[in-house]
Chains A and B, each alone.
Chain A
Amino acid sequence: MKDLTHSADAATVEEALAADNHQGVVDSEGATALAMQNTLLTPRFYTTDFDEMDAIDVSGVREDWDKLIDQMKSDPNKGHFKKNEDWDQIDWDGMEPKLKAEFIDFLVSSCTAEFSGCVLYKEMKRRGNNEDIVTLFQLMARDEARHAGFINDALREAGISVNLGFLTQKKKYTYFRPKFIYYATYLSEKIGYARYITIYRHLEANPEHRFHPIFKWFREWCNDEFSHGEAFALLMKTDPKLTSGVNVLWIKFFLTAVYATMYVRDHQRPAFHKALGVDPDWYAHEVFTKTSTISKQVFPITLDIDHPRWQKGLEALQRANVDLADAKKTGNVFKRLSASTRAAIAFVGLFTIPAVKHQVPASTRLEPAY
């Protein structure tokens, strides 16, 4: 039973303005704009070698491929991203300011990432000619746009309006080699799954830390991420060269860059993690462990995250990054140079830890198990 209406549930601007949480806001659009903080999304735009992508032949993994595509087409999560009685009202004004800032930053980053994925996938869909590939990218673009819409809605409740006016700004198209799209998106989808499910399970066991209802939706959400990752795993399986020879070094580079970025970035949100009751070091190790286990389905190596140099390297990178941010703020060129050098050394240190090799299974497909 819900007695109060909320602007986030409204279908029209009029309804939103009439909602109970908008008391005090007068009826003009200007007033709505004034009440909402405006955040312009600035996704990147990509091109790639579309001929190379069109040349992909999934016949070697046809059975698994068709099953996955059928499952995505059946859209099991349609209707999941709706707010129901589980969506508790949040007292945004009463939220501790630092937590609020970090949480909003988390939501905006997530929304931008979903949005960027949507832009990338849509571009692939539009410019590709290979029916299998085009279908996959269309389905993934659908999911990403849906996730972005859901996060956007949570942001609106917090008084943040996402501005999609970026198209009339000059935007440059950057370039991704197809294989880098596979490595990067595969990893971002799988690590996304591991991150969401780890938080979900933690909050299931410790519900008193669930300070926002959006976390209740993380399980189905991350199942979408999981399937997207599965599709990329199958794509990589179509060409053994993608996961052998010099490409193994690229895989190692992507693994190191993604893990290290996550570590550094999460340590920038101490209040957010404290509110969740999560130690960011524990969280990082959990997520890396899960991602490594999953990525064995297609990558012939995993990073040795239990190596004594691993944690030390991450901490050094994190300290260098804090100093770098500080130097940028104060404009201290020497400090900036020294911090950048330290960050680079720390990264090379992490990259040179010997990887763990293993046999990749013949059958690729996995189901979400955490």
Chain B
Amino acid sequence: MGWLTKDFETAPCEVEVSHCFDSLHAHVKFLNGAVINPGDEVQVQGPPVMAPYGEVVREQRIARISRASKLEQLWTRMTGDFEFMELCEFSFSDEITPEPVPGRAPATHKEGLPA
């Protein structure tokens, strides 16, 4: 890992998405013991893992991990703490503008600190 350069690697992972009344959750577990550090980015490859309502879907996939540069890691360590507000139910969000048309990008609901 360089001060300014990013490294990439892939890791096998298991994705679990539960879209049930009892539990709404989505998790990724790395199967090769890969460890994520501050500032790293993870993207599960392939089409979105979608669970229909009432179902739990588990799939083995490959995740692409892009390792943060040292500088980015340091920056994330210093500033990450201030993103805590999204744990509060009244946290700020961008205006939701839902897209009712299938096939188009869904509306996102992003949380974060007040600007």
Contact = CB atoms under 8 A, between A and B. Distances in A.
B101 A261 contact: no
Given A30-B102, A37-B100, A43-B111, A146 B93 contact: no
Given A13-B53, A41-B109, A113 B43 contact: no
A295 interface: no
B87 A171 contact: no
Interface residues of B, number: 65
A321 B24 CA distance: 32
Tell me whether chain A's interface is mostly helix, strand or loop, or mixed.
helix
A258 B88 contact: yes
B81 A175 contact: yes
Contacts of B51: 164
A34 B24 contact: no
A265 interface: yes
Give the size range of A's interface with the partner: 35 or more
Given A34-B102, A166-B26, A340-B115, A191 B36 contact: no
Interface in B31-82: 35-54, 66, 76-77, 80-81
Interface stretch (A116-124, A209-217, A235-243): A116-124
Interface string A173-186: 11111001100110
B88 A167 contact: no
Contacts of B44: 167-168
A330 B67 CA distance: 37
Given A81-B21, A261-B114, A324-B115, 10 more contacts: A40-B108, A42-B108, A105-B96, A112-B111, A113-B86, A164-B17, A167-B26, A168-B43, A180-B81, A261-B90
